[in-house]
Structure 1
């Protein structure tokens, strides 16, 4: 009888699972990233409309902001270059709530990465954020923690994208609401779109960072002035 292996060459998957867990204390559950504005107008109102919105959000917004930032951060080994990526992705967040959300979630993700997946690169990024030289971004902290565990760049980008998909789906379950089974169907539908988006991200250049989806940015700005809100952004 063949012995059962006690270790896996893909051990980095455990790191990615932990970093992308919806229970990770980054506060992502409290941010709608513009979705709530679409709920308030009725444009997103059921499983089908949310699935359509989420696919567009993934490929037309997240890919050009956090997704590309994760890839660039994973690829660079220069502290100065990492600080430049931080500045670019922070500056590209035009809506005030989105910019503030990035800083808050970035600080929490960086705290987790420093506490659980410490590397010299993570520690240096933490020092730069503490000194005010970097704003801090969850995607960058995620990328550094995953890279330190040996996770390949493409796997890291895919895990980050799907963690955001999961957070947005949980918010839709509460905000529309659509129910847990519908949420699982939407997440399953996003598998192919996440993989397609990862491939697309690897065709982008640094100058593509922050390419705007104007409708989403306007919705994110309007969210700040909604009369009643469930989410912070």
Structure 2
């Protein structure tokens, strides 16, 4: 139960790493009227969940599965960041990771080597510079270190990503909170399906799909006015 609470803490939207400042291209799609109401936001969420196993969710699970393999984690870091085509998205993930790697040092047990995999990754990112720093990798290593069930950890992580999208969509379109909650409720079975799919993939599967979202992320740099950093 303690491990579950710890995972919820680091995936909470109020966890102070700045995740609320990122829309990852959603702001572009709302600005150009691709997403205008609850129905189109629901379609976007469904598309997001379809491709998530092949990017951040897949990366999170692979880092969980290979937490003790230093070479694998380094290769995963390099590949996963290269696959983030939009510069703002890449920079956003790097910033989230850096802040996370600094904050967890204040957690109970952090001074007693309770997070060995995450400690290694922190040193490679913040001290040695041999890794770029992917937030999804840090989350996967954290979940492994605290001994949480992989599927449960991945489900909490996926829900947190989805909740951020819906919250941002509700604010920007705008929509009622009721519509946002309906979208989240309608998406819960798809979250489970996304996690199950991601658990069957390997590193060679990363980067499949998501081209439209990448383009939206790139076009975000050209918006006249922006509320979000990506």
**Short-chain TM bin:** over 0.9
Asked if residue 212 in structure 1 is aligned to residue 209 in structure 2, the reply is yes
Deviation of 1:113 (Å): 2.9
Q: Is the 8 A contact 1:29 1:170 kept in 2?
A: no
**C-alpha separation between the residues in 1 aligned to 2:163 and 2:50?**
15
66, 77, 81: which one pairs with 2:72?
Answer: 81
1:82-231 equivalent positions in 2, closer than 5 A: 82-116=73-107, 118=110, 119-130=115-126, 131-231=128-228
Which range moved further: 29-38 or 204-213?
204-213
Deviation of 1:155 (Å): 1.3
**C-alpha separation between the residues in 1 aligned to 2:49 and 2:104?**
24
**C-alpha separation between the residues in 1 aligned to 2:23 and 2:136?**
17
Segments of structure 1 that go 5 or more residues without pairing to the other structure are: 1-9
SS in structure 1 of the partner of residue 222 of structure 2: coil
Q: Is the 8 A contact 2:54 2:205 kept in 1?
A: yes
* Structure 2 equivalent of residue 28 of structure 1: 19
Q: Which runs of 4+ in 1 moved over 6 A?
A: none
- Compute the TM-score of the two structures, normalised by the length of structure 1: 0.91
Q: Is the 8 A contact 2:116 2:145 kept in 1?
A: no
Asked if residue 65 in structure 1 is aligned to residue 55 in structure 2, the reply is yes
**What is the CA deviation profile of residues 26-60 of structure 1, one whole-angstrom value per residue up to 9, with x for unaligned ones?**
21111111111110111101111101101101212
Deviation of 1:107 (Å): 1.0
Q: Is the 8 A contact 1:12 1:150 kept in 2?
A: yes
Deviation of 1:114 (Å): 3.2
SS in structure 2 of the partner of residue 224 of structure 1: helix
Q: Is the 8 A contact 1:70 1:157 kept in 2?
A: yes
Deviation of 1:115 (Å): 2.7
Segments of structure 2 that go 5 or more residues without pairing to the other structure are: none
**What is the CA deviation profile of residues 168-208 of structure 1, one whole-angstrom value per residue up to 9, with x for unaligned ones?**
11111211111222111111111111001011112222101
Q: Is the 8 A contact 1:106 1:141 kept in 2?
A: yes
**C-alpha separation between the residues in 2 aligned to 1:128 and 1:153?**
24
